[in-house]
Every structure is written in structure tokens, then in C-alpha cells.
Amino acid sequence: MLQSAKETIDLYIVAWNTAGPDEISAAFAKCWAYDATYTDPNYALVKGVDGISQLAIASLEKIPGRTFHIVVEPDYHHNNGLYTWGANLPGIGSRQGVDYFELNDEYKITRIVSFFPPL
């Protein structure tokens, strides 16, 4: 069982950095609630482990070798949090973004709203 928001977000970043469809899905299942949602400037709504896994797979196919890391650790209270992440995008450069997130009582992600500049 997850013990903290930091642990959850660490696992979430690991999932984005994982390779292979089955491995990606398994990684997201560790930190992502069954019916969780994700939205960002490019996607209005991605739902569930399958949805976020497919988004990560498509992202890796579009930008092979891209990686994510945490720039500012999560600030968290009352099941809500915020953190800053960075991305290394081969052939494009580095980017930073901010994710607002919500967790359930088991510290699994139920919602992420991501903000980042255009690629």
C-alpha cells in the first residue's frame, strides 16, 4: 500500500519513464486509481489505467527516449497536491510543467491536471 503523496508521484514518474506496453500499464496500475482522469493542454480527458498507459505509449512513440523527472517535490494537503516536473525531449530540448493532482485515501491518483508550454 502506498504511504505518501511523494511515493505516489515518484511511482507516477517511473511509469512515464517505463518502456514496453505491458510494463507501462503495470507501472501505472501501482499509482493510478481505476477510474482516475488526466487532462492537459492537448487532451481534454484521458480515463483509467488503460487511457493513461496508451497516452504514455503514444508519447514514447512520438518522442523516443523522452524522460521525466521531478523538479519540485509535491506540496500536498487534504488529498490535493501540486508538483513541478521536467522533461528531456531528444531533438526538442527540455521542458517544465506543473501537475495538480488529487489522491484517494489509499494515496492512488484520482485526477491529474497538467500544465506545460507547447512543444
Say which CATH number the domain at 65 has. 3.10.450.50
Under 8 Å CB-to-CB from 77, ≥6 apart: which residues?
none
pTM of the model: 0.96
Q: How many domains does the chain have?
A: 1
Neighbours of 99 (CB within 10 A): 22
CA of 70: how far to CAs of 43, 48, 78, in Å? Answer: 22, 23, 21
In angstroms, the CA 72 to CA 97 distance is 10
Residues present in the chain in total: 119
What is the predicted pLDDT for the residue at 1? 83
What is the predicted pLDDT for the residue at 101? 99
Pairing verdict, β 80-89 and 93-103: antiparallel
Identify the domain containing residue 53 by its residue range.
Answer: 5-115
Q: Tell me: the pLDDT tens digits for 8-52?
A: 999 999 999 999 999 999 999 999 999 999 999 999 899 999 999
